Amino acid sequence: MIPIRNAAEIQKMREAGAALKEVFGVVAPLVAPGITTLELNAEIEKKIFSLGATAPCKGFEGYPAAACISVDDVVVHGIPSFRRLAEGEIVSVDIVLKLNGYCADATRTYAVGKVSDEKLRLIEVTRRCFFNGVSRIRAGARLGDAQSAIQLTAELAGYGVVRAMEGHGIGKNMHEEPSVPNHGHAGTGVLLKAGMCLAVEPMITMGDWRVKIDGDGWTCRTVDGSPAAHYENTVLVTADGCEILTE
């Protein structure tokens, strides 16, 4: 069953989204060569708690931190550590927060200092994958319409679409029905209805789309070592489109 949010719940989803935007407001200026991903995570946690929100990732199936911080070939679920960011790397910061019982989930990939044009293009195309995807979302459309737009955008640019990880419904819990893969066929899949809330999150690789999980059970990286980017927002399906709650 895919939850349909009523007006009061939608208001709470908007408030959670607005709070998460504030959290990203402190992240962007901190991303620079020299900061450890653990220091970055600490600032994120501090900001989340200062807003009266909680961090559902912390403790989720044993995950130890509020944020997932994924550098270069790490696609998602990078665990904050003493590793320092270095000039030329790209870093994806994925944060979920819960405020007054409702969750918001978003990710941005940042350039650390000056990075190659290839990496900048990967970040830009990943962002475009998200917007092309959600441009297909409205009540009455099929989820596959958005999935195929994401896939086409990535593959026409010469990039890989990660299959092993997917977007998801979101609301009272950070993961709800339905799954939102980043590949698929237009005209197929879940029939979208106004009031559904989805975390749409293209994970795009510069090379092969295959990924593997490290021995820590979390860190998900490309098999070929190519860099990956990630762009995610929580979106509300509406009668004539969608409202992006975390952009």
Cα–Cα distances in angstroms (integers) from residue 147 to residues 16, 34, 142, in the given order: 25, 37, 9
Name which of 115 and 169 has its Cβ closer to Co ion. Answer: 169
Contact window for ligand MF3 (CB under 6 A) among 33-41, 57-65, 111-119, 235-243? 57-65
Q: Among Co ion, ligand MF3, none, what binds residue 237 when CB lies within 5 to 8 Å by partner kind?
A: none
Name which of 6 and 215 has its Cβ closer to ligand MF3. Answer: 215
State the binding string over 178-217 for ligand MF3 (x if CB under 6 A, else -): ---------------------x-x----------------
What is d(CA 129, CA 98) in angstroms, rounded to the nearest whole number? Answer: 26
Q: Which helix (H) or strand (E) holds 69?
A: strand 67-71
176 part of the interface to ligand MF3, by CB under 6 A: no
Q: Are 126 and 231 a contacting pair, CB within 8 Å? A: yes
> Of 63, 83, 138, 207, which lies in the binding site for ligand MF3, with binding defined by CB under 6 A?
63
DSSP 185-243: -TT-SPBP-TT-EEEE--EEESS---EEE-TTS--EEETT---EEE-BEEEEEETTEEE
Name which of 125 and 180 has its Cβ closer to Co ion. Answer: 180
Name which of 72 and 105 has its Cβ closer to Co ion. Answer: 105
Q: In angstroms, what is the minimal distance from the CB of 125 to Co ion? A: 19
Name which of 149 and 199 has its Cβ closer to Co ion. Answer: 199
> Of 10, 57, 93, 211, which lies in the binding site for ligand MF3, with binding defined by CB under 6 A?
57
131 part of the interface to ligand MF3, by CB under 6 A: no
What is d(CA 224, CA 199) in angstroms, rounded to the nearest whole number? Answer: 27
> Of 96, 112, 137, 245, which lies in the binding site for ligand MF3, with binding defined by CB under 6 A?
96
Q: In angstroms, what is the minimal distance from the CB of 90 to ligand MF3? A: 18
Buried residues in 190-202 as b, exposed as e (16+ CB within 10 A): bebebbbbbbbbb
Cα 144 from chain centroid? 18
What is d(CA 217, CA 213) in angstroms, rounded to the nearest whole number? Answer: 6
Contact window for ligand MF3 (CB under 6 A) among 16-24, 58-66, 155-163, 184-192? 58-66
Name which of 95 and 141 has its Cβ closer to ligand MF3. Answer: 95
Contact window for ligand MF3 (CB under 6 A) among 56-64, 113-121, 132-140, 148-156? 56-64
Which among 63, 70, 33 is positioned nearest to 228, based on CA atoms?
70
Q: Which two tokens stand for residue 74?
A: 């790490």
How long is the chain?
A: 247
Q: In angstroms, what is the minimal distance from the CB of 104 to ligand MF3? A: 10
